Structure 1
Amino acid sequence: MNNLITPAEFQSAKDIGHKLDEKKINSLIEMAQSTDLKELLSARFYFDLLDNQNEENYQDLLSGCTFQFLGVNYYQDGLKALLCDYVMAKYVLQVNTNFTPFGVTIKTSENSEPVDRNTLKDIAVQNTQLAGSRFEIIKLYLDTNWDKFPNWINNIYSSEVQPTERTYRLRKIS
């Protein structure tokens, strides 16, 4: 997988301590990209972004920039910051969890006590909400700069046909 951020970038963006489990963080980055980010951006633009992430056009989108909309200056934090929020939401729920041949265990030490699961869920929700707030401004940036990003399908100038309305069928399970 072509990750947009590295574990070191994640560590510098979020307060996760000094010891870095790169294997675990890389899998969380991949998970957040494949689920959360791809859902926000649409598959078409997501894969376009992965293919062109080193292009100059995409650097402001990834790292953040100032832009103007209707005479007002805005600052968007960039997709890397957004991705760090989603990774953090997943990280806090899994940081102390280990999968062993004997089952799932929680790391503890003599001088520590595991944090309550509800507290960790609250931190995860806060990071997800922060990501949502960041994306509002990033979406405005994408909509404003639609000509730089022709594969951005969620903008109002898209020539792409929008998906038809979904229908749900409920069945009684007996």
Structure 2
Amino acid sequence: MVFSGSLNVYAADTYTVVIKTVIRDVVGAPLPGEKSEQTIHIDFDSKTVTSEFTTGTTDVELTDHDDLLAGRKGPTIKVESIRDKFIVRDVVFYDKQDYVFFVAQGETASGMHVTPNINYSFSIAVVPNHSELPGINNQVRFHGFHDGYPSYEIYVNDTKVYDFQQGLVVELVGDSDVRVPMTAKSF
């Protein structure tokens, strides 16, 4: 997996939400690594929400029967992801209470054409540090659903607010079977 990093610099009224899908390197997990990253930028001054995403590649080792018997590794090829669809929709800035609501959705699949999509949908509200809402400044509230595989992480301004530990790879089959209840976290 190859990703380019970036330095996060936060202005007073700018917030960043990052949703990652990661196959963690645990026993039995095929092809560990970060599979997708959706970054959502929120600017309360201009009342805008923008989104970008990156997806990783899957490294596939080509080993023939003779190499396998001899304990040799074959060449590795990189397979790009397919079916990439990452969107932010239903964006609403609530001026009176000074917070933003949106739905973030992501879908990607390995270019191997044999695995189902990795997908999620989260409804997210971000309350900035200057909100008129008493006692809930710098808070994110979210709920939604995702698959049971791989792991899912949500960050707000580099603070991890959600961390789902992946189950078995068979939990990728089906449509977002894990329900995430309404959760409120400070950041």
TM-score tier (shorter): under 0.3
The structure carrying a bigger helix percent of its residues is 1
Tell me the TM-score normalised to structure 2 length: 0.26
Tell me the TM-score normalised to structure 1 length: 0.27
The structure carrying a bigger strand percent of its residues is 2
